[in-house]
A and B are shown apart, each in its own frame.
Chain A
Amino acid sequence: MTSTPTSNSDTIQVSVWRGGAEGGRFQQFEVPQQPSQTILDVVTWIQRQLDASLSYRFACRVGMCGSCAMMVNGVPRWTCRTHVNKVMRDNRLTIEPLRNLPVIKDLACDMSEFFEKWRHAEGHFRGGSTREQTVAALSPNSPQRRVADAATECINCAICYASCDVVSWNPDYLGPAALNRAWSLQNDERDVAGGARLRAVAGDAGCHQCHSMQGCATYCPNELNPTASIAGLKRMVTRAWIDGSLGKDDA
């Protein structure tokens, strides 16, 4: 974390968005530059040294929990793993709450709708076996498992959701994270809710709304490709519609 500034260090001019759901404004802060300083370090330094009323959200500080994402110079980023010297321009930083989500206060967003959409996309695993049965043996090398694995490492940071223009145009759209999760489960051989999930993602807020602009894939900090996952869902839904299984009950 940050420490007391050294007397001869350069400073960063930081514009931080302050306010709530009703609106707000940018507030200027001057923050000393430190070696290996992250954006989260900058925000924390402001809160601890300059203005204790600044609200933001973080937990793990090592890129695991997905809670510290913010807009940095107009781009969604995980702030704990974003180094200042990689993104700073002319010693200036602009830090805002994530796009496409309601603001609670300052840099903290209300993530409720983001997680609600995971539920609407049937983003939870539904197994078909009981505890009396043996654990399913899955080969990590099977083609289906490889596809599922490629979409698994999501940390729910909502960076893809903030980068998605379709979400900004159509607030009902399920979004890249929920659809990526649905795709991962569709390729999980143990899951038995495939039919219900396909119907959930085939509606007018589902996978067909994606324009493949790839903002999600561009900014995902874990280098996942939700656009490819959504394209997979489109193919899967289309196949299910052609063979008539989209309209039937779960197998």
Chain B
Amino acid sequence: MLETRLYLAQRLSAAIIAPLVMIHLGVMIYAIQGGLDTEEILARTSGSLLWALNYGLFAIAVAIHAAIGLRNILREWLKLRGVLLNLASLLVFAGLLVTGLRAVYAVIVA
């Protein structure tokens, strides 16, 4: 049952996103105490396996979560159905995943 799988995937991805957002916000509030500085941010993230896992997992979970949510909006507001609906949702998923992981790659490796 596709709808049941998507329902579960959206809730599981939300459960992953929630603590990661808290970590992000907590570190952000702590780190900007001395001002916002690119060098400082990159010094923290470059080569860090922990931050790579944190933001990598976040990017994947967001791509899944947002694509399923947008799929509902596409169905209800644009009346998309069937193959077209699934293709459009997959496109959103792929776009978010590629741009998200590319950003993670930039702050960890580049």
Q: How far is the CA of A177 from the CA of B110 in the complex (A)?
A: 56
B76 lies within 8 A of A203 (CB): no
Give which listed residue, B1, B8, B72, B75, contacts A199 with CB less than 8 A.
B1
Check A202 for interface membership: any CB of B closer than 8 A: yes
Q: How far is the CA of A238 from the CA of B6 in the complex (A)?
A: 11
Residue of chain B at shortest CB distance from A165: B76
Q: How far is the CA of A199 from the CA of B1 in the complex (A)?
A: 8
A203 lies within 8 A of B8 (CB): no
Check A125 for interface membership: any CB of B closer than 8 A: no
Give the distance to chain A from B40, nearest Cβ to Cβ, in Å.
42
Give which listed residue, B4, B76, B77, contacts A208 with CB less than 8 A.
B4
Residue of chain B at shortest CB distance from A170: B76
Q: How far is the CA of A247 from the CA of B4 in the complex (A)?
A: 12
Check A30 for interface membership: any CB of B closer than 8 A: no
A166 lies within 8 A of B76 (CB): yes
Q: Which residues of A contact B6 (CB under 8 A)?
A: 208
**CB pairs A–B below 8 angstroms (13 shown):** A166-B76, A199-B1, A203-B1, A203-B3, A204-B2, A204-B3, A206-B3, A208-B3, A209-B72, A237-B1, A238-B4, A246-B4, A247-B1
Give the distance to chain B from A176, nearest Cβ to Cβ, in Å.
16
Q: How far is the CA of A202 from the CA of B5 in the complex (A)?
A: 10
B4 lies within 8 A of A237 (CB): yes
B residues sitting closer than 8 Å to A (CB atoms) are 1-8, 72, 75-77
Size of interface on A: residues with Cβ below 8 Å to B: 17
Residue of chain A at shortest CB distance from B4: A241
B1 lies within 8 A of A169 (CB): no
A202 lies within 8 A of B1 (CB): yes
Q: Which residues of A contact B75 (CB under 8 A)?
A: 169-170
Q: Which residues of A contact B3 (CB under 8 A)?
A: 202-204, 206, 208-209
The 3 closest A-B pairs by CB, nearest first: A169-B76, A208-B3, A208-B7
Q: Which residues of A contact B72 (CB under 8 A)?
A: 209, 211
Q: Which residues of B contact A203 (CB under 8 A)?
A: 1, 3
Give the distance to chain A from B50, nearest Cβ to Cβ, in Å.
31
Give which listed residue, A169, A238, A241, contacts B77 with CB less than 8 A.
A169
